Amino acid sequence: MTWLVPCFHVLLLFGEPTISLQGNRIVDLSHDFSEKTLYWPTAQTFTLQEDFKGTTDKGFHYEANTFKAAEHGGTHLDAPNHFAAGRWSSEQIPLDRLIGAAVVIDVRDKCAENRDYQVQTSDFEAWEKKNGRLPKGVIVLLHTGMGKHWPDAERYLGTAERGPQAVPKLHFPGLHPQAAEWLVTHRSIHAIGLDTPSIDYGQSTLFESHQILFKANIPAFENVANLDQLPAKGASVIALPMKIKGGSGGPLRIIALLP
């Protein structure tokens, strides 16, 4: 979903660079939260309980609901403390790590051939050969193409089963630990996201890429939507999670601004 912002001027002064909304096209990178939202097979899914909907005894319309869900499902944040003790929890992540220039690493062809593909250092090097070195403080988005299957659990996760027995049946792309180490050691990124349920690929049991990135206080965005609408470079991203004190993640509203 996209919107064209009319000609008014808003500046977000969260560090460099300053982002202007004037004349930008806005792309929503978030999936809706509903009964169809996909979660890890062992996690509590999203429920919306109606508390009241209708006309009150005083004659005005009123609606209110209670929602319940695990932190990690749908389009969401992984805070560094999710896999690294003593690192930032959800509310501790500085805003300038969640807002900034974004690049898209397109690995759709490789993931179409192998749904267990792990993004390699060579994929980043190929991007840099065409576009220049990854900028300092950039938000990296991995475009695997899996987002087109949302919310079909069988096609997106690799299985529609629920429960612990489903976890070994998960098949989707992710980031190779060696590439995660390369990003931490040789580049200086602020955050990373992708259009799959996890930064590590579906068959991972040690979640090494999570561990490597989160020890370096690099947060992650998972189940990101509409990456096919973003260019390889030139977009800016605003990723604002629910501010849960002590949280290891939470629902995320993430948008991109296109010039």
Q: Cα separation of 168 and 251, whole Å? A: 25
Q: Cα separation of 30 and 38, whole Å? A: 13
DSSP per-residue string spanning 147-206: GGGTT-HHHHHS----SGGGGGG----EE-HHHHHHHHHH---SEEEESSS-SS-TT-SS
| Largest pairwise CA distance in the chain | 66
- Domains in the chain, start-ordered, CATH in brackets? 2-258 (3.50.30.50)
Low-confidence ranges of the chain (pLDDT < 50): 4-17
Q: What's the pLDDT score for residue 23?
A: 73
- Can you name the residues that pair with 12 across neighbouring β-strands? 19
pTM: 0.92
Q: Cα separation of 225 and 157, whole Å? A: 15
Q: pLDDT digits over 136-189, tens only? A: 999 999 999 999 999 999 999 999 999 999 999 999 999 999 999 999 999 999
Buried b (16+ CB within 10 A) or exposed e, 125-153: eebeeebeebbebbbbbbbbbbbebbbeb
Q: What's the pLDDT score for residue 24?
A: 84
Residue 146 near residue 196 (C-beta atoms within 8 A)? yes
Q: Cα separation of 99 and 256, whole Å? A: 10
Residue 172 near residue 197 (C-beta atoms within 8 A)? yes
Q: What's the pLDDT score for residue 259?
A: 86
Q: Cα separation of 157 and 151, whole Å? A: 9
Q: Cα separation of 145 and 25, whole Å? A: 22
